[in-house]
Structure 1
Amino acid sequence: MIAPTIPELVARSASHPFLGEHLAMGTGAHHAEAIASRRGVEMLSAYEPIYDISVHGGVQSLTADLTSAARFGDELGFQAVTLRDEGGKIAPFDPFSDTLDDPELVALDRCVRALHTINFLGSQQHGLLFLRVHERLLKSVKYDHGRHFSNVLVSFGLNPGRVVIELPAAAVAHRTFVGYLTKSYQRYGFKVAGNLPNAGQILSVSDMARLDFVKMDASSALRDSMVKPLVSYAARLRIPLIFNRVMDLAQFELLQQYDVRFVQGPVFATQNSAA
């Protein structure tokens, strides 16, 4: 089934008791996408690709042919990134701060997740959408994590199965808590990814509820010489392992030596810009 378009989804949000106040179609250069406005801040969507570099024969070189470097493999999915329009200048933006009270944090998080999902699925984008969830939101919502968001998506005609809820490292560090969160989000149709606070934490993954993905900071894994054991253990668990925050060509080439499959990070945006 083809998902509704972005204008159709924005129109449907107009009748939602909360989203209708904050979501609208953009104007000018952003006329074809949804924007969110809250407390005087205009927020936009961007997406960072997560590549499967095992396709097309595996090993690739980012420096071999920059004219064809727009693709480094097939995209597993995309990580949503929030942007802010600062007087016509678009820049990455973290809408969450320690000064927000819990109700405002929950409302803002729901608004941003809805924005990114509408722009992603409404543009008929392929692959999975990875959405980060703030640690304090996880603690502020006492039970049934994922129920509200799932109900919103289903009412809009969208499939929660296309969305991966990405749990922060602080939540993954608590075995019982991450087990509960994983089961709850999966019960409402979402997939779940967990960010490892450190490489050793993967040893606890098998004791948790079944995560759909595990993410690890590439710089930390390379620094601690943990890439090979991480890849090996994740393969035994049969859980896809994504190395994120790949910063430069040297890191990318080192990761390839260990048969890493999924990667994301600033280096790919740099190479795409160069192409």
Structure 2
Amino acid sequence: MIAPTIPELVARAANHPFLGEHLMMGTGTHHAEAVAHRNGVELLSAYEPIYDISVHGGAQSITADLTLASRFGDELGFQAVTLREHDGKVEPFDPFATTVDDPELVALDRCVRALHTINFLGSQQHGLLFLRVHEQLLKSVKYDHGRHFSNVLVSFGLNPGRVVIELPAAAVAHRTFVGYLTKSYQRYGFKVAGNLPNAGQILSVSDMARLDFLKMDASAALRDSMVKPLVSYAARLRIPLIFNRVVDAAQFEQLQQYDVRFVQGPVFATQHSAA
């Protein structure tokens, strides 16, 4: 089944009691994508690829053109990134940086996730969409995590199974909490990824509800010489492990020595815009 287009999804959002106030089609250079207006700021979508580098046999060097995605492998999916246009330039933006009120944070988080999902699935992108969820939202919503977002997506004709809810490291550090969150989001059709706060936390994963993906900061894993043990233990758990925030060619080449499969980070190119 082909997903609705971005304009069709924005039209459906117009009938939503909350999203209709904030989501709309962009103008000018952003005319083909959805934008969100919140607190006087226009929010935009971009997507950072997550590569499966195992599809290309043999070690690769990235001393050549870093922007050629085909050199790294196929995309497992994409991490949503929030942008804004400021002084004529598009730049990364954290809409939660100055938000301290819980109801406002919950509303903003739901707005941003809807924006990124509409732009991603509405543009017929392949692969999975990884969406970060704010730690404070997890604490503010007392139960049935994922129910509201799943209902919104289904009402728009979208499949929650294309979306990976990415839990922050602070949540993953609490075994009982992350187990509850994982079960709840999966019950409503989502996949769930957990950011490891440190390499040792992977030892607790088998006691939790089963995460669909694990993520680990590449710099921290390399610094602590934990890449090989992490890869080995994740393979035993049969949970895909993504090394994120890969910042340069040297890190990428070190990771390849340990049969790392999934990578993401600024070294692999500029972010993909929604259009």
So what's the TM-score if we normalise by structure 1?
Answer: 0.96
**Alpha-carbon deviation of 1:94?**
0.3
Residues 144 and 85 of structure 1, relative CA distance in 2, 3 Å threshold: same
Work out the CA distance in 2 between the residues paired with 1:250 and 1:267: 10
**Alpha-carbon deviation of 1:215?**
0.2
**Alpha-carbon deviation of 1:86?**
1.4
**Alpha-carbon deviation of 1:39?**
1.1
- Tell me if structure 2 keeps the 8 A contact 1:62–1:69: no
The answer to which of 222-231 and 99-108 deviates more is 99-108
**Alpha-carbon deviation of 1:204?**
0.2
**Alpha-carbon deviation of 1:87?**
3.5
Q: Secondary structure at the match of 1:183?
A: helix
Q: Secondary structure at the match of 1:70?
A: helix
CA deviations on 1:94-153 (whole Å, 9 max, x unpaired) are: 000354200000000000000000000000000000000000000000000000000000
CA deviations on 1:234-275 (whole Å, 9 max, x unpaired) are: 000000000000000000000000000000001001699999
Residues 30 and 248 of structure 1, relative CA distance in 2, 3 Å threshold: same
CA deviations on 1:129-179 (whole Å, 9 max, x unpaired) are: 000000000000000000000000000000000000000000000000000
Counterpart residue number, 2:102: 102
Work out the CA distance in 2 between the residues paired with 1:60 and 1:24: 42
Residues 273 and 183 of structure 1, relative CA distance in 2, 3 Å threshold: closer
Q: Secondary structure at the match of 2:239?
A: coil
Residues 123 and 58 of structure 1, relative CA distance in 2, 3 Å threshold: farther
Gaps of 5+ in 2: none
Alignment RMSD (CA, Å): 2.4
**Alpha-carbon deviation of 1:58?**
4.2
- Tell me if structure 2 keeps the 8 A contact 1:219–1:245: yes
Count of residues in correspondence between the two structures: 275
Q: Secondary structure at the match of 1:61?
A: coil
**Alpha-carbon deviation of 1:88?**
2.3
Residues 161 and 66 of structure 1, relative CA distance in 2, 3 Å threshold: closer
- Tell me if structure 2 keeps the 8 A contact 1:66–1:274: no
- Tell me if structure 2 keeps the 8 A contact 1:42–1:84: yes
Counterpart residue number, 1:250: 250
Work out the CA distance in 2 between the residues paired with 1:44 and 1:273: 9
**Alpha-carbon deviation of 1:66?**
5.4
- Tell me if structure 1 keeps the 8 A contact 2:120–2:274: no
- Tell me if structure 2 keeps the 8 A contact 1:70–1:271: no
Q: Secondary structure at the match of 2:136?
A: helix
The answer to which of 32-41 and 67-76 deviates more is 67-76
**Alpha-carbon deviation of 1:61?**
1.5
- Tell me if structure 2 keeps the 8 A contact 1:133–1:168: yes
- Tell me if structure 2 keeps the 8 A contact 1:160–1:190: yes
Superposition pairs for residues 54-203 of structure 1, below 5 Å?
A: 54-64=54-64, 68=68, 71-97=71-97, 99-203=99-203
- Tell me if structure 2 keeps the 8 A contact 1:14–1:20: yes
**Alpha-carbon deviation of 1:56?**
2.1
Work out the CA distance in 2 between the residues paired with 1:14 and 1:259: 47
Name segments (4+ residues, structure 1) moved above 6 Å. 271-275
Residues 65 and 79 of structure 1, relative CA distance in 2, 3 Å threshold: closer
Residues 41 and 63 of structure 1, relative CA distance in 2, 3 Å threshold: same
Work out the CA distance in 2 between the residues paired with 1:271 and 1:19: 25
- If asked which structure has higher relative contact order (CA below 8 Å, sep 6+), I would say 2
CA deviations on 1:176-197 (whole Å, 9 max, x unpaired) are: 0000000000000000000000
